[in-house]
Each structure stands twice: as structure tokens, then as C-alpha cells.
Structure 1
């Protein structure tokens, strides 16, 4: 009898454990950025912090390097409910054109300026614009200041880009930017860039140092031109319908942790810039400082395009610029 009771108790415990395991919902977080990039490290930091708070309620799992699809695919999946979170960056203007404010060259002065934009324009304008399309970005994370690499020559002025095939993200605004600079922009997913550079399908590309290093682009690129032409954020984003099916406590943890990790990401980005630059130099890249004013002058048509094509565009430009020095 004693043995039977022990067996029954053991069986009940096993069933309880199994039920608890089944109750723990998996929060699937897919990103296109490579392992080791700041976007991937931020997503992993987010998962670690969120999972500590979630306990047995749910577990966040991160899939990097486009394992779950390209950015466009993953945006569709969070709407359909086959995954919960993704991390678009330069593709966001294709969802809501207001996000092209970050595609205006030299719009963001520094990370403190970005923090002030986060507290105002992001909350008041950008989030509602995405929500109107069924998406909700939970925060602004760091992607970084973008630099230009290529295999033909150092890029000092836009004239040096003339005729070069430069990979851009699948963003009509980034394409317009590099057309204005005289390049031949070639949109493609980041996961395809290394081989395209290796085989000469494209001459170069533009990305933050963290993505250049994580993608090992120093192995297939000779010149690194420090242009800092765009600061591109990344946005931990959910599909509203899918997100609101989650337990309200889980929703709160995910939203609060996404905001919390935003500061961590900017600090990590700032502290890593010098180290990454040295790593790329050690990898054999030749580094030069681009002529900032030449690029600023060539960028004016982008500001005119944004003001003309985006509702409230001129007001957004003026608001963002007014925040540059903390005013």
C-alpha cells in the first residue's frame, strides 16, 4: 500500500510538472541581425531580464541571423501570430513613412539627442503611426551610426560613390539617399551581403560598425569610410492582435523590459565604437574620415522629399532639430 501511494504521488507530481511546463508560453523573438551584433546582444539581454521577471508564466526565445525569415517576413509573422516579437530597423518606413525621419542624413546628432527624440516624437507620433498599421514598437533600441564600406576606393565625398553598387536595406528612403549621392543602390537582406560582396555582385554597403564587425565584412571589404550619415534605431515590435492575446502580466513585463533595455543598448553602443573600429582596422580595413559637409550639402533633397511626402513632415523635422541641444 505504501509503495502504491508513493507511486500515485510520484505520478501526480509528474503530471503537475508536465502541466506547468505546458502552461509556460514561448515568446518567439526573431531578428535579422547576426549573432554578436549589438542588436542580437540587446535582444539577448532583453530575453534574460524578461525571463527573470516572467518566472513560470512564459519564456522569451531569441532567433537571430534571419533564422525565421527576412525582416518583411517576420513583420508578417507577428501579425499572423506565428511569432511574437521582431526587431526591424531601416524597414520601418515601409510600414509607416513617419519613421523615415531617421533616414534623414545627420538628423540625429548623438545618442543624447536620440534619447530626447525617444521621449517625445517616438511616443507621440511614431508609435501611433505604427499602431494604425497593426504594429506596436515597444521601444527604440540602438542599431547605430552607419558608415560606408567598399572595395573600390575610399569615400571622402558623395562624388566618390558615383556608379558604385552599394547594398542598402530594403528601404525606399535609403535607396533615395544613395541615388542622391550618385551611387547605384542595391537593396538586399543583410544575410545575403557577405556572399554578394565576396562574389562582386555589389561593391560595398553601409551599416553601423557593430553589424560590419559581426558580419565579418572586414574579410570581404577593403575600405571603411567613416561617414556617420545616418543613425538608425531598431524597434522591438509586436503585432497588436497577437500581443494582446498574451496574459496581461506578460504584456507588461515585455513592454517595461523593452524600455528598460533601451538605455543599456545606447550605453553599449557608445562604449563599443572605438573597440570595434580598432578590430576592423586590425582585420585589414583602410579607414578614412568622410567630408561631413559635402554629405550634408548632398542630403538636402532628402529633407525636401520628407517634408513634401510625409504628413506633418516639416513639423517633425523642426521638432527633432529643436531637440538636438536639449531645448
Structure 2
């Protein structure tokens, strides 16, 4: 029943050109079957196949088949993969992307769209300077905490909890401030780490929690919404620039189309997959977000001090959150 619910949430898209494609590209990601990442990559692939009239084909590979996030970033540069779908790990590419790791800095998807419209040139330049090209934005989503020790209502409830985080220094700093013992780990290793007790807990959006079946090895889900992580439909700059102009236009158009699809799908999944997690017997509680926001100030201060232009970046993103 659980699998049926998850399957009903995500439409499956497969690009099948009528004839052999002139250009075949590989898209690797870490999402499990039924995940938002899978839906995003498959929708992008289907769109490219359709809008190119079969000239271009994107083949998708999920479940870390082509590597974890850090490996995929390297494979993009080596030309071994054409697209990846990183999220938090982008803060390791350039410090500017760490602004999205600041707790509670993004209010909702409308806020994220305003940031994108006003500031995309800044992030594209940072990506280009490091050898990458952002074809478009998708999302990973609003993140929440699961663990096997206790419900998390306040930051101090995290004291001593061994918590898996993605590879990214700001997520580690955040949970150190909250009192947890954070450890970066590849997503593909998390289920076993939770099952064996190597890790007590982890933090992810509902779609990653449910489709990776973390509810089978976790007792508590605390709704914190502590970080909203965008995802990036990412290529290497060399690879993107090397495509024919008409192919580049199709890729950009399909990335825009995919973002709308992803946002709509994610909003629906947030409700439906929370029900899946509850149905597995996980105890769910609403955390005190005001307490977490108050405890997050040192993370903002550190970002402003360590990243060039960090305070200006924070101020710009926050100001767009207050726009109508």
C-alpha cells in the first residue's frame, strides 16, 4: 500500500525518441525510485526528447548509480556525466551557495522564485567560475529531522545525537550549534547507518525520507523545516557550451518547464508522503521554530564573516522574503 501511495504521487516520464537521437546525454542523481529527484530528472528528460523532436535524448540514472553527489560533480568536469542534480553539496563548489544553508532564510517557493529572478546571475557566475553551468533550478525541499533517541522540540533536544548531514560545512556548523554530533555522509549510505545505529538520525525533506524508507528505521520525525534546499540541474560549462545552439535552447526551456513541474509535485508530496511516514508508525511532532531561529544566529554570523560578501548576500535574500 505504501509503495502504491508513493507511486501515485510521482508521474513517470521516459524520453523515447521516434528514432536514434543525434545527441545522447546522461543525467545522474542520488534520488531513489518514487523520489522528487527521480520525477525531476525524468520530466526534464521527457521534455528534452519531445521539444528536440528526438534530436536529443537524456538518459536518467538514479539511486547513485553513477556516483554520489561529490563524485557526480567530478564526473561532470571529466565529461563522464552530462547532468547532475546536486543540492546542499553546491556549498562545496562555491561559498556563495552556502547562503541557502542558512536556517530559515527561505520562507517558501514564491520567495525562492524571487531570489532566482533577482540573483541568478550571481549564482550562475559562481558556478561558471568553478567550471559548471546551472541549466535551471529544481528543489530538494524543506528539511526535517528524524531520529531514534527522542522527539526534537528545541535545539537542546539534539544534544549528543549522532546526526547524518550532507557534505556541506554550513549544515555541520548549524547542527553543532544546536548541540548535535553531525557527520557528513553520502545519501546512499544513510539507511544502513540508521539501521545499524552508526547514526541516530538524519535530516531531509519528506520525499527523501519516505522514498529511501527511513521511516522503517526511525522512531521520531520532528517537523523543523530548518532549511530549504534548492536543487540545481547542473552541467559542466564546457559540456553545455559545446552543445549546438538549438540543443542549448531546448535544455534551458525544459529546465524552466521542469522547475514548475517540480514545485507543483513537491507541494503535493509534502502532504501525501507525510501520511506515508505516519502510517509506518513514526511519532511526529511540531518543533519550536522560534527557538531554532534564535539558536541559528551564530551560523549567520559565521557565514557573514567567512564568505566574501556574505552579509550582503544574506541581506539581499532576506529582503526578497519580505517582498509582496
Give distance in 1, aligned partners of 2:269 and 2:78.
36
Residue 161 (structure 1) shift? 0.5
1:145 equivalenced with 2:145 (yes/no) = no
SS at structure 1 position matched to 2:141? strand
Aligned to 2:235: 238
Aligned to 2:54: 56
Consecutive unaligned residues in structure 1, runs of 5 or more? 1-19
Q: Which residue of 2 aligns with 1:265?
A: 262
| Alignment partner of 1:155 is 2:157 | no
Deviates more, 1:244-253 or 1:210-219: 244-253
**Structure-2 residue corresponding to 1:13:** none
* 1:38 aligned residue (33, 36, 48): 36
> Which digits, 9 at most, give the CA deviation of each residue in 1:19-77, with x for residues without a partner?
x9666221100001212111110111111111101223221010001000111111111
Q: Match of 2:14?
A: none
Flag the 1:298–1:81 CA change in 2: closer, same or farther, 3 A.
Answer: same
Kindly report which structure 2 residues correspond to 1:56-75, keeping only aligned pairs within 5 A, or say none: 56-75=54-73
Instruction: Give the count of matched residue pairs.
Output: 307
The answer on whether the counterparts of 2:124 and 2:133 sit within 8 Å (CA) in structure 1 is yes
Q: Counterpart in 1 of 2:45? A: 47
Aligned counterparts, 1:1-327, within 5 A: 24-121=22-119, 123-327=120-324
| CA–CA separation in structure 1 for the residues paired with 2:110 and 2:61 | 30
Question: Structure 1: how far apart are the matches of 2:158 and 2:144?
Answer: 13
Give distance in 1, aligned partners of 2:164 and 2:91.
17
Please give the alpha-carbon distance, in whole angstroms, between the structure 1 residues aligned to 2:259 and 2:20: 31
- How far residue 199 of structure 1 moved from its aligned partner, in angstroms, is 0.5
CA deviations on 1:237-292 (whole Å, 9 max, x unpaired) are 00011222222211111112112211221111112211111111001110000011
Larger Rg: 1
Q: Deviations over 1:174-210 (max 9, x none)?
A: 1111111100001101110001100110000000000
Structure 1 residue matching 2:73: 3-state secondary structure: helix
Deviation at 1:326, TM superposition (A): 2.1
- SS where residue 87 of structure 2 aligns? coil
Report the equivalent of 1:16.
Answer: none
Task: Rate the CA distance shift 1:218–1:23 in 2: closer, same or farther, 3 A.
Answer: closer
Q: Could you tell me which runs of 5 or more consecutive residues in structure 2 were left unpaired when the two chains were aligned.
A: 1-17
Runs of 4+ in 1 over 3 A off after TM superposition: 20-23
**TM-score by structure 2 length?**
0.92
RMSD of aligned Cα (Å) = 1.3
Shift of 1:110: 1.0
Summarize deviations over 1:279-312 as a string: whole Å, max 9, x none. Answer: 1100111000001111001100111011111121
The 1-side partners of 2:278 and 2:54 are apart by 46
